[in-house]
Chains A and B, each alone.
Chain A
Amino acid sequence: MGPESTADREGSPIVEVRNLQTAFFTEKETIRAVDGISFDVVPGRTVGIVGESGSGKTVTARSLMGLVGRPGRVLRGSSIRFRHLETVREYASRFPGRTADLTDPSVEPADLLDRIDATPETFGYDDPRDVPVAEVVAAGYADGLGLADGDDCVFVTEGEPNEPETITDGFVEISRLDGEPQRLIRGGRIAMVFQDPLTSLNPVYTVGNQIVEALRLHRGLRGAEATREAARLLEDVGIPDAGRRVEEYPHQFSGGMRQRAVIAMALACQPEVLICDEPTTALDVTIQAQILELLAEIQERRDLAIVFITHDMGVIANVSDRVNVVYAGEIVETAGVEALFDEPKHPYTRGLLRSIPGRQTGDRLETIEGNVPTPNEPATYCRFAPRCPEAFEACESVHPQAVSVGDGDDHAAACLLYPEELSRTAAVDHHRERTHGGDG
């Protein structure tokens, strides 16, 4: 690895989500709203997360922002790594007390795994020797081993943490952030656009005031300069007469205008990553198209990484480069957008595609019968099985693992029907074996 960090190299992820588990602890039950999701976010690309209501999309987004509140919590073993070199350097110099040095080559990952009683599968590797020490530590497993303190959130894997300019590789672990470092990430590095533009602006302050607030916080702009910048941002998102609009209140904006204003607010601090949680759901179709176009244009201009969350397959086809289909807190299929729409492998994905109006064969709109179950226990079976038209007996007792389907490495589905080249019994055994490996 050269002086360039991973994040600066073409196509390498800026955010790596690994085995993300977010659970809500209620008096009645523990709801595993997000149960082991992994994906990458790449600059200049859009990763889509699609699924029905209640499948855990929004909780995923909120976990990325650190916005999961009580009684919810991101569980140990989850890791959200922000690999932006500039941020790592800045954090290492600003929060030296929370920076952990993981450059020590003497630590053996296999050894480490033994001591913490975890398996390489937890981290998505087959061989213990492949598991990077940093990932084990980031996931919260090694706090007692003297490698990191409880509140460490900056991990340096190459370079000298005490001299931030020499750092060439490392990451900020978002799931361990709190207080000041968390606030700096929020809005400054990762911004979010919420579902309902009608309620996501504070009604008693002017739109300008709410943009200036972010500018002052992350860029230190004040007074007339900040107001001018706010007007420029509004102009950038296509709001005419921005100079006057800055002084207006949210109720004087139309729905589409408000969502543009929310986007302007999110972009105010030049974030690296933009999370869009159903940004067009509350808007009508023409406005929706305009907003999607705007996002695409901004992405091209700023090389922005976008996480796009929606239940609308049509929108997903439009905006994303890569799609993750989530069901009951798990990713059931992940693929490039073309592969997914041309050759959907998982029965759930097929069902979703068939329920797009205009795509079905008969007179009636096809639907997937039933609702998303509440994932309130660890998965020991396929959660989609009760609704799956192709379910068979083993689906009730074996938890499917993601297996590669299709040509490339990048199309995977978690379904007992695959790998296709094996017989059904062999395929089930394949999944069972990997599950038991994961348990042991």
Chain B
Amino acid sequence: MSRWEYFLKRLLLTVPVLFLVITFLFIMLRLGPLDPVAARLGPEASGADAQAMRERLGLDAPLWEQYVMFATDLLTLDGQSWVVQADRPVTSVIAGAAPPTLWLGFWAILLPLFIGIPLGFYAGLNPNSWGDYVASVSGIVWQAMPNFWLCVMLLAGLRQTQGGGWFGFDWYALGPELRSITGTPDLDFLRWGEPVGLPMPTAVDWGALAVDIKLILPPAIVLGSASIAAELRIGRTAMLETANANYVETAKAKGLTDRVIVWKHVFRNALIPLVPVISNEAFLLIGGSVIVEVIFNINGLGRIFFQAVIQGDLPLAGALLFMFTLIIIFLNILQDLLYTIIDPRVGYER
């Protein structure tokens, strides 16, 4: 079986999984104690108005009909929000909220990758040195701090810096100027044009990009904090184990330089145990972004999902969960693909 046949098979196997997910979603959301009509019209709504709204949303149809409607709307991307942004198509609600979340997620994955792994590898290459102790202890401290608490503390700390403050710098004035340290990044840094008839980015507004990055850094650090710590600790262990492996000894006996030994023989083997850690972190981001987006006042998917669930907005919550499921399945497949690329011992045969 070739690599691509294998992954095609994996993709086909996701179809039944998706159907189960749709059904489960419907049961959970529809049979739960949430009342979208009350959420939309207010608890005081009179019987006639409520009845009219019920009919409009299709809530008086038999349950199986509601299920079919829900499923077809999901699969054809055709639903409309019931409550959160009433009567807007679900796709446009998601399209509006997705960019800030993607921007947040991008940095929340990137920061751990470029802080956690290098620190972990450094600690593993210099075990029991001062650098190792500092990195390992701070890793544990990072991991011990819960997101919601860290969010609030970071916000409080950064607010104090306005106009100089405790820490001797003003976060608002440092680099690109910010009026508020919370809020949704507008992500308007690309200049679009049609140089060859197709719309494509033609220039980057560096000032706007810097503002967007500065705005997203605090929430991204919070969201990635646990990942930084986990990648640091797994990276350190992986490096230590690999550096003592027999094939590293063989490489030394061959007369290779330390640089080649570390980058060729140690690095790639140490990455193998990090693959599932990194992809699992991506799962966590989806859940974590709800809290972080609410606290940092970012109008993203996490926040909208939270509102949709507590207000019984079945099509919107369903569509978002469906999307999260798709992302997780896709990440799993990507993880397996990465495994087969990094480690030749992982094959496609049973």
List residues of chain A with CB under 8 Å of any chain B CB: 65, 67, 182-188, 191-192, 194, 196, 199-206, 213-214, 217-218, 249, 251, 262, 265-266
Q: Provide the main secondary structure of the chain B interface.
A: helix
Q: A184–B269 Cα gap in the complex (Å)?
A: 26
List residues of chain B with CB under 8 Å of any chain A CB: 245-247, 249-257, 260, 264-265, 268-269, 272, 342-345
Give chain A residues whose Cβ lies under 8 Å from the Cβ of B245: 199
Q: A245–B138 Cα gap in the complex (Å)?
A: 47
Give min CB distance, A303 to chain B, whole Å. Answer: 21
Q: A65–B253 Cα gap in the complex (Å)?
A: 7
Q: Are B344 and A249 in contact (CB under 8 A)?
A: yes
Query: Known contacts A202-B269, A203-B344, A203-B345: does B246 contact A217 (CB below 8 Å)?
Result: no
Give chain A residues whose Cβ lies under 8 Å from the Cβ of B251: 202, 213
* Chain A minimum-CB-distance residue to B242: A202
Give min CB distance, A260 to chain B, whole Å. Answer: 14
Q: Are B246 and A186 in contact (CB under 8 A)?
A: no
Q: A262–B345 Cα gap in the complex (Å)?
A: 19
Give chain A residues whose Cβ lies under 8 Å from the Cβ of B257: 183
Which residue of the partner chain, among B246, B254, B265, B272, contacts A199 with CB atoms under 8 Å? B246
Give chain B residues whose Cβ lies under 8 Å from the Cβ of A65: 253
Which residue of the partner chain, among B247, B252, B255, B342, contacts A202 with CB atoms under 8 Å? B247
Q: Which of A196, A200, A206 has the most CB of B within 10 A?
A: A200
Give chain A residues whose Cβ lies under 8 Å from the Cβ of B250: 192, 194, 200-202, 262, 265
Which residue of the partner chain, among B247, B255, B260, B272, contacts A187 with CB atoms under 8 Å? B255
Q: Are B255 and A186 in contact (CB under 8 A)?
A: yes
Q: A196–B250 Cα gap in the complex (Å)?
A: 11
Q: A118–B52 Cα gap in the complex (Å)?
A: 108
Q: Are A200 and B265 in contact (CB under 8 A)?
A: no
A-B contact pairs, 20 of them (CB 8 A): A67-B252, A67-B253, A184-B255, A194-B249, A194-B250, A194-B253, A200-B246, A200-B247, A202-B251, A202-B265, A202-B269, A203-B269, A203-B343, A204-B268, A204-B344, A214-B254, A217-B254, A217-B255, A249-B344, A265-B254
Q: A61–B265 Cα gap in the complex (Å)?
A: 23
Give min CB distance, B99 to chain A, whole Å. Answer: 38
Q: Are A187 and B344 in contact (CB under 8 A)?
A: no
| A191-B254, A192-B253 known, 17 other contacts, Cβ within 8 Å | A67-B252, A183-B255, A186-B255, A192-B250, A194-B253, A199-B245, A201-B247, A201-B250, A203-B269, A203-B345, A204-B268, A205-B264, A217-B255, A251-B344, A251-B345, A262-B250, A265-B254
Q: A182–B251 Cα gap in the complex (Å)?
A: 14
